[in-house]
Structure 1
Amino acid sequence: MGRTFASLKFYNYRVWFFAALIANTGTWMQRIAQNWLVINDLTDNSASAVGLITALQFVPVIFVMPVAGSLADRFDKRKIVFVTQLGQMLSAFGLAALILTGTANLGNVCLFAFILGIVAAFDSPPRLTFISELVPPRSLPNAIGLNSMSFNIARLIGPALAGALIAAVGTGWVFVINGAMFLATLVALLLMRPKEFHPAPQSEQKEGTVEGIVHGLKYLRRRSDLMLIFVVVGIASCTAMNNNLTTAAMSTSVFDKGAGEFGVVGSVLAIGSLSGALHGARRTAQPRVRSVVGAGCGLAIAMAINAIAPSFWLYTVTLIPVGYFMIVMLTAANTAVQMSTAPDMRGRVVSLYQTVVQGVVPVGALLTGWISDGFGARWGVGMGAIGCAVAVVGALIWGRHKWDVEIHYRIREPLHLEILGPLEHEQEQAEEEAATTASAPAEEAAPVEKAGPELGRERAASQQAEHAAEKASKKKTVEIPENMDNVNGMGITEESAAAGTCDAGSASEEAAPKSRKTEGEIDE
């Protein structure tokens, strides 16, 4: 099996990958159907109404997701995901019943969007961090990339399938099919082999939900590298990732296209997204902060071109680089956040990351809808280009200010690092002094032999150092694996040096051989 699909050799991950592909396809079908229902059936091409629905669906993220992250660090992630997937299935069936009975209106669709948002907010942190328990740590970058690829394959299939089904049988049946597709993930969770899990250590501190959230915030405050990722991706999510809204507005109000063409637009965007996910799946090392910033720069340029496209088909083609850079940014950020965070803090940090990324969506959706209605759909897309450009420039300024020194090593041979305790260091000094004395010329040694008291004191000090060394703590050896090409992970940030911490919690000797980076480092 090639490097791109290496994680599929693990049974539990393989089962989850294909089940998630089915469920994600249904989710994308529902997103397209919901937007089409609002913009075409319940309103008169109102982008603001679509923005309102989107905002209501993401408002719960701000309040619920940090709680979900704290729960994910304390309880069985598989059980939490089972309950949340079941809740999303029931929500889809409920909205389908309203549409098929002819009782759907903007009010009850808003209510269901809000309920679905609550369930999805509880689902996201445990589902994302659950992936780290399906594969060993060395395969996590590939697993996260494949998970993104699964999501974007669904993004490719779902919109086109939704457009065809809306035209053939109506929007109501799209929601029915989506609800049925959640059965795939429910069955997959039941089929997994518990003995093949790679569970992360539970948080050792006995703390409540609120205390856990506060602890996560304090941890994040010490990590300037993570803060930079949060800010860049947060601004991009707010201004540039309201694609369901902007593609619907551009297709209908600018190019006057129907449901079929609208589905094609979503699928073309997914082609770019899929190529970005494949790029992420081939990654074998932890991504750098500059990978996130570079993708943001590419996204700004792509969206600027997309906003001024003169024809529908040129607009559609330019969605490919938009989708590519968007997913490269999100995949690099998600992988960096998960891999550089201590395992017992991963659920909370990921939940805070998702809170930032998804919590800004309501603001961005309302703002994009307002700009699209007031100034035209092209300006709604252009706002994304401006937002990404601001995020990139701000990141470059902040990064230059925060990190003055960055050290890079290129390692091709296995490197053994010995972390010596204070007493062992004293023993080394004593041995060096003894070697220096022994190698001195004979004429210099004679006076030393005459100085009996001084020599006696030196020997006594050497014996004390040797005796103390026997009681010293055991050596800790950190081995960096072979065949590491271009490992830039030996840089030390101010935060990691002050905290004296290392990646993946740094408290366990067993975890040390698996890690090559300090906790404060995000590198490739």
Structure 2
Amino acid sequence: MKTCGRTFQSLSVRNFRLFVFGQLLSVTCTWMMVIAQDWLVLELSGDSATALGVVTAMQFTPVLLLTLYGGRLADRYDKRRILLLANLASGFLALALGLWLLIGDVRLWHIWLFALALGTVNSVEAPTRISFVSEMVGTELLPNASAMSAAYFNVARVVGPAIAGLLIARLDVAAVVLINAVSYLGTVVSVALMRPSELHRAAVRPRKAGVVDGLRYIGGRPDLILPMALVGVLGLVGFNFQLTLPLLAKTEFHTDSTAFGLLSSSLAAGSLLAAFVTTARRGRPTALVVTGSALAFGALEAVTGLAPTLPAACVLLALTGFAMMYFAQASNHRVQLGSDPAYRGRVMALYTLIFQGTTPLAALLTGLLSEHWGPRWALYTGGLISLTAAAATLPLSRRSAQPPPGPNLPTRPGSSRHRNPRKTPLP
């Protein structure tokens, strides 16, 4: 019982509890939307891997261009209000696409435009949401809350694709898109019901919060640069399952949308288990933990490309998902728990930029590779390059020292002092 209590400790905070419930609904439907969008692109393009790569690139190109400015906004303005506006905008975009699908005359370039618009909103929403977690729970509960965020994300990732596969087969893509549009209200309502006085905000919000200042701060922190570099490599070549899984289902195993959902859910199930495992983390992980989990991920992804049958692929994807999430959480915690709260929005914006901003190039490369050699080769190549990159950074990880964090601005719920004496200033 005591262990269970520790696992869900951050849910004792009312604001974070509201946030998790709203996000669980919204993210589940977002994953349904991802499956529906990818399946629609394959239908419109005649199973073209390149077309699938283009729509993914369109969605993540704004992340590459605008995320650093999104982090600047998060440090300068009220994160809660930014989240409200971003989720309303995303809901409106999904509603517009759903109605367009009902009308009927949908072309491939329409999907590309929607992906571009949604990516623009996400470039602001993602760094704001990630850095807002520390404001909801404070420093002491941040590792647990971050792991719980990964847990609800992967619960959604398990449930969403499975439901989407059934709904697409029985209804249509338009129904899934419209359900996703309504689901954004879950996040909007949960954020609106929060108590601002209980948020752990910096006593002084920087007036300028320049992007260059944030980059200069990160440049002086080698302990932050190493995990970000690994995240960049693995994000570029390894985390391309949004492209490889639908192609694996359709072109290698010759199955329908239900099997595609099963492959996605298997990957997510392993990720979910890893997220729950990392809720036990109480401090900042070492560089060796980050590098070791990257090594495991690279090896497992490469082996997944050899899976001879659908059941074997599901098992290997579950193991790969575990290693992927363990690495993602370790790198996130190392970066976030090592950064000054005054810079955290910009630090996590750069982290998000590296994590997701490589996706446009990765999507195009993976699409071309899959088009000519098949999705198995995309998995082999991504896994082996990830494995090589992690092995190359292993000596640096062993020598990596953890410098003390820079001076922190005081944080508090409602004032410059902590009302909860257990909360300590500072990832």
- Scaled by the length of structure 2, the TM-score of the pair is 0.94
Match of 1:124 in 2: 126
Q: Decide whether the 8 Å contact of 1:61 with 1:121 is kept in 2.
A: yes
Q: Residues 349, 202 of structure 1: CA spacing in aligned structure 2 closer, same or farther, 3 A cutoff? A: farther
Give, in whole Å, the separation in 2 of the partners of 1:17 and 1:159: 19
1:46 aligns with 2:44: no
Give the one of 6, 12, 24 matched to 1:3. 6
Write the letter of the residue equivalent to 1:322. Answer: T
The SS at the match of 1:316 is helix
- Segments of structure 1 that go 5 or more residues without pairing to the other structure are 407-490, 497-501, 520-524
Match of 1:171 in 2: 173
How far did residue 200 of structure 1 move?
A: 2.9
Match of 1:56 in 2: 58
How far did residue 344 of structure 1 move?
A: 0.5
Q: Decide whether the 8 Å contact of 2:408 with 2:425 is kept in 1.
A: no
The SS at the match of 1:19 is helix
Q: Decide whether the 8 Å contact of 1:343 with 1:504 is kept in 2.
A: no
Match of 2:22 in 1: 19
Give, in whole Å, the separation in 1 of the partners of 2:19 and 2:348: 20
Q: Decide whether the 8 Å contact of 2:245 with 2:260 is kept in 1.
A: yes
Write the letter of the residue equivalent to 1:257. Answer: T
Give, in whole Å, the separation in 2 of the partners of 1:175 and 1:513: 44
How far did residue 508 of structure 1 move?
A: 5.9
Give, in whole Å, the separation in 2 of the partners of 1:66 and 1:202: 21
Q: Decide whether the 8 Å contact of 1:58 with 1:117 is kept in 2.
A: yes
Q: Decide whether the 8 Å contact of 1:201 with 1:344 is kept in 2.
A: no
The 5 Å alignment of 1:318-357 reads 318-357=316-355
Give, in whole Å, the separation in 2 of the partners of 1:164 and 1:382: 30
The SS at the match of 1:133 is helix
Give, in whole Å, the separation in 2 of the partners of 1:398 and 1:88: 41
Match of 1:483 in 2: none
Q: Residues 72, 507 of structure 1: CA spacing in aligned structure 2 closer, same or farther, 3 A cutoff? A: closer
Give, in whole Å, the separation in 1 of the partners of 2:152 and 2:76: 28
Match of 1:300 in 2: 298
Give the one of 65, 80, 86 matched to 1:84. 86
Write the letter of the residue equivalent to 1:350. Answer: M
Q: Decide whether the 8 Å contact of 1:368 with 1:383 is kept in 2.
A: no
How far did residue 310 of structure 1 move?
A: 1.1
How far did residue 399 of structure 1 move?
A: 3.7
How many pairs align? 417
Q: Decide whether the 8 Å contact of 2:410 with 2:425 is kept in 1.
A: no
1:240 aligns with 2:243: no
Match of 1:358 in 2: 356
Give the one of 461, 481, 503 matched to 2:405. 503
Runs of 4+ in structure 1 deviating by more than 2 angstroms, as ranges, are 200-204, 397-400, 502-517
Q: Residues 375, 504 of structure 1: CA spacing in aligned structure 2 closer, same or farther, 3 A cutoff? A: same
How far did residue 97 of structure 1 move?
A: 1.5
Q: Decide whether the 8 Å contact of 1:73 with 1:348 is kept in 2.
A: yes
Write the letter of the residue equivalent to 1:176. Answer: L
Give, in whole Å, the separation in 2 of the partners of 1:302 and 1:277: 18
How far did residue 386 of structure 1 move?
A: 1.5
Which one has the largest radius of gyration? 1
Match of 2:391 in 1: 393
Give the one of 254, 257, 264 matched to 1:256. 254
The SS at the match of 1:164 is helix
Give, in whole Å, the separation in 1 of the partners of 2:395 and 2:368: 31
Q: Decide whether the 8 Å contact of 2:63 with 2:353 is kept in 1.
A: yes
Q: CA RMSD in A?
A: 2.0
Q: Residues 325, 76 of structure 1: CA spacing in aligned structure 2 closer, same or farther, 3 A cutoff? A: same
The SS at the match of 1:137 is coil
The 5 Å alignment of 1:73-222 reads 73-204=75-206, 206-207=207-208, 212-222=210-220
- Segments of structure 2 that go 5 or more residues without pairing to the other structure are 412-416
The SS at the match of 2:104 is coil
Give, in whole Å, the separation in 2 of the partners of 1:515 and 1:231: 29
Higher relative contact order (CA 8 A, sep 6+): 2
Q: Decide whether the 8 Å contact of 1:231 with 1:391 is kept in 2.
A: no
Q: Residues 225, 513 of structure 1: CA spacing in aligned structure 2 closer, same or farther, 3 A cutoff? A: farther
How far did residue 73 of structure 1 move?
A: 0.6
Q: Identical aligned pairs, as a percentage?
A: 36
